[in-house]
């Protein structure tokens, strides 16, 4: 899946049915709030809107089950504040 | 004892052989009269001994390349003249700040600006001291014969490696372009100093450690130690800092590691100073004329001697005072409009009258001229 | 075929791999503005190096002066933060002295093309085996938003307050004209492409340039009303035209577009190798 195709998903097609169950075990991603600078890139680029900004604009994993483990968030994060716990 | 092979050699080439003897294996340079033969010599000689020569796109590229090579672990050198040295001073300052040993040969030519490329001068003396911006402690040495071009270049490398700092070799054009008999020393005849290497584990390595003598062990890139080198003022780990309590200690370290041992950098030659009431003070080609003048004057019963400096910077304050203690007058001879004389005036006590004889028309100060000056001040 | 689990396991390692390359004892996060592309490029470089399996001891990162040049200090390699515009000659010294080292230069549009321009074209001409990653954000960021050699005509900066009257370089074309044998352009939006391109550049024998178009929203973006980092990333996505498609487009159609992808990948003899042949032929000759 090329990057532009993944990113393009937000405009047209509905969110894909998640194929990972994160109800048990760690969430798909962990956020290092000390390193995160609230630049909003992950929140805006996530094709599945998994994140919601908290009071400071830093990402909160609001919809973990929608995460399709596409890696867009943490490959873009300029401060390595996101690491993955993919299934 | 086998008779040592003697070569009729150009001054510039003697520098090359001196550098190679000292372990120089990397030269980067740019053509400029009157130092080009140093580059040409390195281009020919270095491949024969597995060394590396590169002609860079300008003098800034040249000094940058030799500092990079030294950081990578090779003894490195460049050679230029006034205009090129002017282009290099920023990165000579970088070598100073990052404590990277390199040797820069400046074959001085008529200045300022393009000046007289094929004529000799000593007008870059103060530039070797104050050329780069910021508080800088210079080391500069100056030969006066072709054999000394070889030995002084060895000494320059030893000073650079010992103190982990850039060293300038100041030549007059006339020496660089003279041919004289030279013997190349055997291995071991001259001490060759190599930078101190770390012995600790990579995890413990502090690249700019505050050691008692001020010189930190120096690993080269790719030798198992990973560290940061930056021209920004930095702490002992090489990380940028603006904290006052770290800044001045760093600048003190850069200066005092040299000044604390300045006596060991001093090298002078004195002739007929016993009972001398007058002394010539000079370096390089002027010292040769002074020697001739003093010999002739002594024959005529004049109590005069000559003091030749091989180490210009740091200026040998204490030693000059001691040697000239008995003199009433000194004559500072220079191929410029007066530069070293400021140091002599700063250093010698007031009871010694300081005269100067300066020539800056591109020709040398001759023994006859010095004798005339001597008559004048007697 | 790796099972989904294995690839994801690999994905998991991939996200943590970046942390293994950060400089111990160095304070994070970085000095860069929130959302600055420099960090994204740094991540791509790390993952490329990790994929190629280079040992940390053989990688040397050299940089000049500017925002992007603050990168090497953050990474657990040998790092040389030099003077403005001089990263390439310093790197030439390191590489030529020890050709087995993997030398990577991190530079910016001002550092490489203005004060460093002369060294840039000669490093390309010389075809020395160095990978230069030129992070092009169209402005001098470190010094507060002045126009640079890539600032487009009519664009605003603190030194072109009435619109830039000058024309700008195309860094990749300049590199190709000067003889660089691998040249590619990508953007901080196209991270997977950047990672792959950097990997190719590192593997390439000879001078390789990766021009990474990046967002300086703090100055260029603000002064030219291009919005926040996300808006600029989306702009890069929209402006990007893959090299293959750009081939049959007219200059007018390509006006203001970003032609991305590998633009040059040819083989020429490499500087250090050629010199080594001279040494081998003349070693020991009196």
- pLDDT, tens digit (0-9, with 9 covering 90-100), for B308-329: 999 999 999 999 999 999 999 9
Contact across the interface for C89 and B64, Cβ inside 8 Å: yes
Contact across the interface for A37 and C35, Cβ inside 8 Å: yes
pLDDT score recorded for residue A87: 79
Mean pLDDT of chain C: 95
Q: pLDDT-based confidence at B5, cuts 50/70/90?
A: confident
Per CATH, which fold does B267-377 belong to? Answer: Rossmann fold (3.40.50)
pLDDT score recorded for residue B49: 97
From the list C57, C82, C118, the residue facing B226 with the nearest CB is C57
pLDDT above 60 for A9: no
Average pLDDT (B108-133) is 97
Which residues from chain C sit within 8 angstroms of residue B220, using beta carbons? Answer: 98
Tokens, residue A18:
């998640």
pLDDT score recorded for residue A20: 80
What whole-number percentage of chain A has pLDDT above 90?
63
Note if the bond before C265 is cis, omega within 30 degrees: no
Would an 8 Å CB–CB cutoff place C184 in contact with chain A? no
Q: Best residue in C3, C15, C212 to probe A by mutation, most A CBs within 10 Å?
A: C15
Sign of the CA dihedral with B322 first, then B328, B334, and B338 last: positive
Which residues from chain A sit within 8 angstroms of residue C193, using beta carbons? Answer: 3
CA dihedral B37, B39, B43, B46 (to 10 degrees): 110
CB atoms within 10 A of CB B167: 30
pLDDT score recorded for residue A15: 56
Which residues from chain A sit within 8 angstroms of residue C43, using beta carbons? Answer: 75, 77-78, 80
Q: Which of residues 237-276 of C touch B (CB under 8 A)?
A: 275
Q: Which of residues 49-68 of A touch C (CB under 8 A)?
A: none
CATH classification of the domain holding A41: 3.30.70.20
Q: pLDDT-based confidence at B41, cuts 50/70/90?
A: very high
**Region of poorest pLDDT, from A16-30, B133-147, B227-241, C106-120:** A16-30
Domain span holding position A62: 3-84
Instruction: Give which of C158, C116, C145 is closest to C217, Cα–Cα.
Output: C145
Average pLDDT (C50-73) is 97
Any contact of B with C, at least 3 CB pairs below 8 A?
A: yes
pLDDT score recorded for residue B221: 98
**CATH-assigned architecture of domain B6-183:** 3-Layer(aba) Sandwich (3.40)
pLDDT in tens, C35-59: 999 999 999 999 999 999 999 999 9
3-state secondary structure of B63: helix
From the list C81, C93, C282, the residue facing B65 with the nearest CB is C93
pLDDT in tens, C161-201: 999 999 999 999 999 999 999 999 999 999 999 999 999 99
pLDDT score recorded for residue A12: 54
**Region of poorest pLDDT, from B166-175, C17-26, C93-102:** C17-26
Which residues from chain C sit within 8 angstroms of residue A59, using beta carbons? Answer: none
What's CA C204's distance to the chain center, in Å?
14
From the list C8, C44, C188, the residue facing A69 with the nearest CB is C8
Would an 8 Å CB–CB cutoff place C61 in contact with chain A? no
pLDDT above 60 for C282: yes
pLDDT above 50 for A7: no
Which residues from chain B sit within 8 angstroms of residue C89, using beta carbons? Answer: 56-57, 60-62, 64-65, 68
Contact across the interface for C82 and B56, Cβ inside 8 Å: no
C110 min Cα distance to partner chain B (Å)? 17
β-pairing, A82-84 with A29-31? antiparallel
pLDDT above 60 for B1: no
Would an 8 Å CB–CB cutoff place A34 in contact with chain C? yes
Q: pLDDT-based confidence at A85, cuts 50/70/90?
A: confident
Report domain extents, chain B.
6-183, 267-377
Q: What is the DSSP string of A17-54?
A: PP----SSSS-SEEE-TTT-----HHHHH-TT--EEE-
B113 touches B87 (CB < 8 A): no
Sign of the CA dihedral with C148 first, then C150, C156, and C161 last: positive
Instruction: Give which of C162, C171, C71, C157 is closest to C114, Cα–Cα.
Output: C171
Which residues from chain C sit within 8 angstroms of residue A82, using beta carbons? Answer: 15
Contact across the interface for A84 and C190, Cβ inside 8 Å: no
Q: Which residue of B has its CA nearest to C120?
A: B57
pLDDT in tens, B271-297: 999 999 999 999 999 999 999 999 999
pLDDT in tens, B70-110: 999 999 999 999 999 999 999 999 999 999 999 999 999 99
pLDDT above 80 for B348: yes
Sign of the CA dihedral with B67 first, then B72, B73, and B78 last: negative
Would an 8 Å CB–CB cutoff place C30 in contact with chain A? yes
B→C interface, C-beta within 8 Å:
26, 28, 47-52, 54, 56-58, 60-62, 64-74, 76, 90-91, 94, 220-222, 224, 226-232, 237, 239-240
Tell me: domain C35-283, CATH 3.40.50.970, correct?
A: yes
pLDDT above 70 for A18: no
pLDDT score recorded for residue A10: 45
pLDDT in tens, C187-246: 999 999 999 999 999 999 999 999 999 999 999 999 999 999 999 999 999 999 999 999
Would an 8 Å CB–CB cutoff place C57 in contact with chain B? yes
pLDDT score recorded for residue A3: 46
Tokens, residue A76:
């873009």
Q: What whole-number distance in Å separates Cα of residue C251 and Cα of residue C236?
A: 18
A68 min Cα distance to partner chain C (Å)? 11
* A-C contacts at Cβ under 8 angstroms: 96
From the list C56, C94, C278, the residue facing B226 with the nearest CB is C56
Task: Give first-to-last CA distance, chain A, whole Å.
Answer: 19
A touches which chains (3+ CB pairs under 8 A)?
C
Contact across the interface for B61 and C92, Cβ inside 8 Å: yes
pLDDT score recorded for residue A26: 85
pLDDT score recorded for residue B157: 98
């Amino acid at each position: 899946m090329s990057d532009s195709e993944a990113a393009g998903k937000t405009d047209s097609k509905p969110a894909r049915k998640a194929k990972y169950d994160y109800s048990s075990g760690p969430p798909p991603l962990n956020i290092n709030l000390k390193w995160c600078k609230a630049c909003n890139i992950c929140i805006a680029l996530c094709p599945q809107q998994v994140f919601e900004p908290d009071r400071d604009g830093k990402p909160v994993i609001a919809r973990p089950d929608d995460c399709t483990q596409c890696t867009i968030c943490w490959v873009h994060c300029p401060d390595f504040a996101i690491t993955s716990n993919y299934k | 004892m086998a008779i040592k092979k003697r070569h009729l050699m150009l001054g510039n080439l003697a520098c090359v052989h001196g550098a190679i003897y000292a372990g120089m294996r990397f030269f980067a340079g740019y053509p400029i009269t009157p130092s080009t033969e140093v580059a040409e010599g390195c281009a020919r000689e270095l491949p024969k001994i597995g060394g590396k020569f590169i002609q860079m796109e300008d003098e800034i590229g040249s000094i940058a390349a030799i500092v990079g090579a030294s950081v990578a672990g090779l003894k490195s050198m460049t050679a230029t003249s006034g205009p090129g040295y002017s282009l290099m001073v920023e990165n000579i300052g970088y070598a100073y700040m990052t404590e990277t040993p390199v040797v820069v040969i400046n074959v001085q030519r008529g200045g300022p600006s393009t000046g007289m490329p094929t004529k000799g001068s000593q007008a870059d003396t103060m530039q070797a001291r104050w050329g780069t911006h910021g508080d800088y402690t210079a080391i500069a040495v100056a030969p006066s014969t072709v054999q000394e071009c070889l030995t002084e270049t060895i000494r320059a490398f030893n000073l650079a490696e010992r103190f982990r700092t850039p060293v300038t070799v100041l030549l007059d054009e006339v020496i660089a372009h003279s041919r004289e008999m030279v013997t190349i020393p055997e291995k071991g005849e001259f001490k060759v100093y190599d930078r101190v290497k770390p012995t600790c584990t990579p995890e413990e390595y502090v690249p700019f450690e505050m050691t008692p003598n001020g010189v930190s062990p120096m690993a080269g890139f790719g030798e198992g130690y990973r560290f940061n080198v930056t021209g920004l003022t930095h702490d002992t780990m090489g990380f940028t800092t603006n904290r006052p309590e770290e800044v001045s200690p760093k600048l003190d370290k850069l200066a005092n590691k040299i000044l604390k041992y300045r006596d060991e950098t001093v090298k002078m030659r004195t002739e007929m100073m016993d009972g001398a009431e007058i002394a010539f003070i000079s370096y390089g080609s002027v010292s040769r004329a002074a020697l001739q003048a003093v010999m002739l004057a002594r024959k005529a019963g004049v109590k005069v001697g000559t003091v030749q400096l091989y180490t210009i910077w740091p200026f040998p304050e204490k030693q000059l005072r001691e040697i000239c203690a008995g003199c009433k007058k000194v004559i500072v001879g220079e191929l410029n409009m007066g530069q070293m004389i400021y140091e002599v005036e700063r250093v010698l006590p007031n009871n010694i009258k300081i005269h100067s004889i300066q020539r800056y028309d591109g020709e040398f100060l001759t023994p006859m001229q010095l004798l005339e000056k001597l008559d004048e001040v007697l | 075929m790796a099972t989904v689990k294995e690839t994801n396991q690999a994905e998991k390692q991939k996200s943590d791999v970046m942390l293994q390359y950060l400089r111990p004892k160095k304070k994070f996060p970085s000095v860069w503005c929130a959302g600055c592309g420099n960090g994204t490029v740094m991540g791509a470089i790390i993952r490329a190096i990790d994929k190629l399996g280079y040992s940390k001891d053989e990688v040397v990162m050299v940089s000049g002066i500017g925002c992007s040049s603050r990168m090497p200090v953050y990474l657990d390699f040998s790092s040389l933060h030099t003077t403005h515009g001089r990263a390439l000659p310093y790197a030439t010294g390191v590489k030529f002295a020890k050709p087995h080292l993997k030398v990577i230069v991190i530079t910016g549009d001002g550092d490489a093309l203005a004060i460093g321009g002369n060294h840039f074209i000669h490093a390309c001409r010389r075809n020395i085996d160095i990978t230069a990653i030129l992070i092009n954000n169209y402005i001098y960021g470190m010094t507060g938003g002045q126009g640079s050699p890539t600032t487009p005509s009519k664009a605003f900066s603190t030194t072109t307050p009435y619109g830039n009257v000058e024309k700008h370089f195309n860094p990749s074309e300049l590199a190709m004209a000067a003889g660089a044998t691998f040249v590619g352009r990508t953007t901080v939006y196209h991270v997977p492409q950047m990672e792959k391109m950097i990997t190719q550049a590192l593997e390439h024998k000879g001078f390789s340039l990766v021009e990474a178009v990046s967002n300086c929203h703090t100055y260029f973006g603000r002064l030219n009303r291009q919005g926040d980092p996300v808006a600029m990333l989306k702009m890069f996505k929209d402006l990007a035209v893959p090299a293959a498609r750009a081939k049959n487009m007219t200059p007018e159609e390509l006006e203001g577009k970003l032609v991305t992808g590998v633009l040059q990948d040819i083989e020429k003899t490499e500087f250090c190798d050629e010199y080594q042949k001279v040494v081998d032929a003349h070693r020991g000759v009196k």
